[in-house]
Amino acid sequence: MSRTMTQATTLISVALRAAADPGVQFEVTHVEGVQVDDPTENPTQASDWALGESFVSYGRGTRLELRTRRTGRAHLGPNEAIPDIVKRAISEDIPVVEDLEAAQLGGRVTTWRGGTSGYPDFFFNFADKLDILLTLRDDDEQWSPADSESLSVLLSQVAKAAGVSVELPITFVRFPSAGFNSSQRLSASEHDSDPLLARSVSLRLTVGLDQSDPRARLAFLVTLADMAAGRYELRVADRRFGSISGQWVLISDPAVGRSKAQDAPEPTVSTTDQGRSRAALLTILGPSRQGAVASVTAMLRTVGMHPRAVTCLSLHDVAFCHFEIDLTAKDGGREATWTQLDRNGNLSDLIERLAPEMANHRAAERHAARDYLYLRGNVFTPPPGPSGVWHPVWSSWEVRDAPAVTASSGTVEQLRDRLADHELVEDCQPEYYRFRRASSAQIVERVKFRIRLETLTWETVQDDLAAICREAQHAMRLPGGWAPPDDESSASLPRSSAQRPRLVSLRVAPRERWLGTWLDDPR
């Protein structure tokens, strides 16, 4: 429960949700060692989940797919009953998961299906949000276990500062995320407030703000500024009138105050050969609660599991914390421990296995950990990271009068092909993509691509990117430029022209903030 209990309509909508939608069904897919440019390794999942939300994220040679839906009458198909696994979760009041053995791609794909009773006790209502961007170092060329360790330290510190010290809920975490190159950093120009790199060693974090505690935002920022001083580059979303998310202001420059920032521990550096690096995927899921991300990251750090990539977000009141764990350990025995773990289970079991010395934590805390599940992937050798300089491209759109049953409108693939076909573009890959069915006939999608240019000239890169995006957007918007998703379920039915799927408000932009003008709702 949280402070929004002071707002009547939030309270009622939570009660209505609890009344109408008992339980949430989810599906988590891990794909390891994926070459994203190979279309055969990116099978589009056919789905019959009429109303749901999904998130696909590409890590360092991995892919994560999350899909959720409520299991209320309004979100199930006409002849569907509440799935058994959700019924079980509701009756046992803990999330339940089952492991589906998948033979796709030589066993590199693992899918879990599960259900939870839904958590309508997370009543936070955001009046506003705060985005921060922390850059660890300049380039993303070489990843070493030392970086994993510093990321682990940084992540747990930031999550604690937000989730515990000032009690602000963390709604989104992503690493690596879009960042700034060194030349942009030197110029203090207003026009360089947008990231030019699709991937940098940057941690992006979003916390929700409400009006009940006006001091929390600044208290959090002060903590971060002190923490980052001399070590990291810290940027926050611009708070000036007319600014929207994606416009960054530099708060802490590593060059400033380096001498004073000796109070935070430096990561213990261990050098390991890049080629021998081993990794595994780990997803932790459970109720979206205040401090959940902070606890999970603190736990990982305590048991010595350091991530290479992180994605945390909440879909349908279920928090998903997804990590790509670096298993290249100092002592070398971690990989063996990992493979002995159950493929999925309770979080408290995971802690017991990984850190037996911590097993005697208090009963109340064990009870809280009982609500969280872990899903463990196989150990794999990460493929080498993509070479060259990649630039970000954001896009969002709506599909109206969409077919009743589809998990994807196919627009991502079409847009990707359009961008890749451009003469200036050498390669185009998705970074993440989010799909949401706002209503039975309306799909909202948002995607971030990374593109590599044929020839990179830093002086003209902004113009080149703008031109590429503009052309792709025009081409998609032209009549016939967009192919509506196939709808097998109703193909035989005669449809009037008014009911054909339409692509609405498509935007393709090299800047995140151009997706919505600042006239839009800040959320």
Partner 1 sequence: MSDSAQVKHHGQELLERAVTALPLPTAPPARSTRDVLGLHLIESALRLEHVDRVSEQLSLVDATHMARAIDIDVDIDGMPEGKEIALRPGGESASTQAPLYVPIARHPRESLGPVVLRDGNGNSLPRLTSRTTNRLLAAGMIRLFRTLASADGGPQSLRGGDLVPTWLIEAAILALIEDGRRDWPVIRHGTSMAAARKTAIDALPSLFTNDITPLTQAMWETPPVKGSYPGKAPRSGDSPHAFYKLLNALTADQFIIAVLPPNPRQVRISYDAPELRGNFRPAIRRIFLPTRDFTMDYETRIPADVDSFHVSIRVPSALEVRRFLMTSDADTGATTAVLYDIENLAHLIEKTAADERRSLLTRSERAGVSSRLDEILRRRAEDYREYQLYLDKLRDRGGFNRAAWRIDKGDPTDMTALLKVTRGGRRLVTMHRRVSEGSPLITTGDLEQLASYGQLLHDAGLGWDLHVDNDPRESAGHIQWRRHATGLGLQRDQTVRAKVFLSLSDANPTTAWQVLRFTVFNLLLVMVLVGSLWWFQRDQAADTSEITQSEVLVTLLLLIPGLLLNRLDLAPRHSVVSRLQVFPQAAAWGSILVNVLLAVAIAVIPANTIEDLRIFVYGVPVIVLLAFVIAVGSYTLAERLSRRITVPPFEVVPAWLRNETRTLPIHLPARTSVTFIEREGDVDV
* DSSP-derived secondary structure letter, 306: E
Cα 221 from Cα 239, distance rounded (Å): 13
Residue 165 found at the interface with partner 1 (CB under 8 A): yes
Residue 456 found at the interface with partner 1 (CB under 8 A): no
> Which residues are CB-contacts of 354 (< 8 A; sequence separation ≥ 6)?
303, 304, 305, 337, 341
Residue 74 found at the interface with partner 1 (CB under 8 A): yes
Within 97-126, which residues bind partner 1 (CB under 8 A)? 119-121
Question: What φ, ψ does residue 17 adopt, rounded to 5°?
Answer: -65, -40
- For the chain, the C-alpha Rg in angstroms (whole number) is 23
Cα 76 from Cα 14, distance rounded (Å): 19
Question: What φ, ψ does residue 378 adopt, rounded to 5°?
Answer: -80, 160
The interface region with partner 1, picked from 156-164, 469-477, 487-495, 505-513 by CB under 8 A, is 156-164
Which residue among 44, 440, 489, 490 contacts partner 1 (CB under 8 A)?
440
Least separation in angstroms between residue 340's CB and partner 1 is 22
Least separation in angstroms between residue 450's CB and partner 1 is 28
Least separation in angstroms between residue 19's CB and partner 1 is 5
Least separation in angstroms between residue 297's CB and partner 1 is 9
| Residue with Cβ nearer partner 1 (141 or 521) | 521
The interface region with partner 1, picked from 26-34, 266-274, 310-318, 368-376 by CB under 8 A, is 368-376
Residue 81 found at the interface with partner 1 (CB under 8 A): no
Residue 318 found at the interface with partner 1 (CB under 8 A): no
* DSSP-derived secondary structure letter, 338: H
| Residue with Cβ nearer partner 1 (289 or 448) | 289
Residue 238 found at the interface with partner 1 (CB under 8 A): yes
Least separation in angstroms between residue 117's CB and partner 1 is 11
The interface region with partner 1, picked from 100-108, 136-144, 231-239, 274-282 by CB under 8 A, is 231-239
Which residue among 369, 419, 476, 508 contacts partner 1 (CB under 8 A)?
369
Q: How many residues at the interface with partner 1, by CB under 8 A?
A: 93
Cα 26 from Cα 28, distance rounded (Å): 7
**Mask of contacts with partner 1, 243-262, x by CB under 8 A?**
------xxxxx--xx--xx-
Cα 513 from Cα 522, distance rounded (Å): 10
| Residue with Cβ nearer partner 1 (349 or 426) | 349
Residue 1 found at the interface with partner 1 (CB under 8 A): yes
| Residue with Cβ nearer partner 1 (226 or 401) | 226
CA angle 235, 264, 326 (to 5 degrees): 80
Give, to the nearest 10 degrees, the angle between helix 411-421 and helix 461-477. Answer: 130
CA angle 426, 430, 432 (to 5 degrees): 155
Nearest Cα neighbor of 120 from 20, 249, 216, 219 is: 20
Question: What φ, ψ does residue 461 adopt, rounded to 5°?
Answer: -65, -35
Token output for 97: 């998961």
Within 203-222, which residues bind partner 1 (CB under 8 A)? 211-219, 221-222
Within 344-363, which residues bind partner 1 (CB under 8 A)? 351, 358, 361
Least separation in angstroms between residue 163's CB and partner 1 is 7
Cα 163 from Cα 295, distance rounded (Å): 9
| Residue with Cβ nearer partner 1 (439 or 490) | 439
Within 280-309, which residues bind partner 1 (CB under 8 A)? 289-292, 294-295, 298-299, 301-302
Least separation in angstroms between residue 220's CB and partner 1 is 9
Element (H, E) at 298: helix 292-302
> Which residues are CB-contacts of 356 (< 8 A; sequence separation ≥ 6)?
none
Which residue among 67, 160, 316, 322 contacts partner 1 (CB under 8 A)?
160
CB count within 10 Å of CB 127 equals 13
| Residue with Cβ nearer partner 1 (256 or 483) | 256
Burial class for 174, CB neighbours closer than 10 Å (0-12, 13-18, 19+): buried
